[in-house]
Amino acid sequence: MSESLVLIPGRTYWHITFGTYGSRLHGADEPTVDRQHNQLHAPFLPADAQRHEKAARMMKADTVWLTQPQRAVIEALVPKICERGGWGYGMVAAPGEPDNDHVHVLLHADSTVHGKRIRMWLKRWLTEELNSRWPRGKDVWWAEAGSTLAVKDERYLRNVYEYIKRQRTLPAE
């Protein structure tokens, strides 16, 4: 794909990121945002032991830390999932240690389809595939939300492609 990194008329490129279940609970020392603090350039939530404890008590399953085989399967599956969804595949990474708690996807879709909807389908279809190999249940692979950033220019497109490529578990295709 690197040789054809150009914006396509009528298509929107999306940089989609989503985390694993329970890996970044609000109130922990690691940076998080919630719905009330999810504005561009807004500070991350401060550490709050009580909020973190409450979030941990509400978990319905153990935290997901993606193993190397799981990361490799995710990276192998996303191109096929993009085809299934009618989206153009760009790049995927399921980073290894110490960041084995999220997935990055670069893809393009019809401009009428929002990245949040695509993220929902990516997570659903990945869950089905992962559960066929490592059964966990329907809602315990991924955090509830994630990030969907529309790529507005070719410079950002190239930067996000290279950023994701550097984090891959498998060699880039």
**d(Cα 5, Cα 51) in Å, to the nearest integer?**
43
Neighbours of 159 (CB within 10 A): 14
Whether residue 37 has pLDDT greater than 60: no
**d(Cα 92, Cα 103) in Å, to the nearest integer?**
7
In degrees rounded to 5, what are phi and psi of residue 109? -145, 165
Are residues 69 and 47 part of one domain? no
Are residues 100 and 159 part of one domain? yes
Q: Residue 114: inside a domain, yes or no?
A: yes
Whether residue 169 has pLDDT greater than 60: yes
Q: What is the pLDDT of residues 95-152, one digit of tens each?
A: 998 889 999 999 999 999 999 999 999 999 999 999 999 999 888 999 998 999 999 9
Q: What is the pLDDT of residue 2?
A: 46
Q: What is the pLDDT of residues 50-61, one digit of tens each?
A: 877 877 778 888
Mean per-residue pLDDT over the chain, rounded: 88
Q: What is the pLDDT of residue 19?
A: 94
Are residues 65 and 32 part of one domain? no
Nearest partner of 143 among 165, 119, 167, judged by Cα: 119
User: How many domains, the chain?
Assistant: 2
Are residues 44 and 30 part of one domain? yes
Structural domain for 71, as ranges: 2-21+61-166
Are residues 89 and 11 part of one domain? yes
Are residues 106 and 143 part of one domain? yes
Whether residue 160 has pLDDT greater than 50: yes
Nearest partner of 108 among 75, 84, 81, 86, judged by Cα: 86
Percent of all residues in the chain with a pLDDT value above 90, rounded to a whole number: 65
Q: What is the pLDDT of residue 14?
A: 98
Q: What is the pLDDT of residue 48?
A: 74
Q: If DSSP codes are grouped into helix, strand and coil, which group holds residue 90?
A: strand
Are residues 123 and 45 part of one domain? no
Whether residue 93 has pLDDT greater than 50: yes
Tokens 């922990």 locate to: 28
Q: Residue 171: inside a domain, yes or no?
A: no
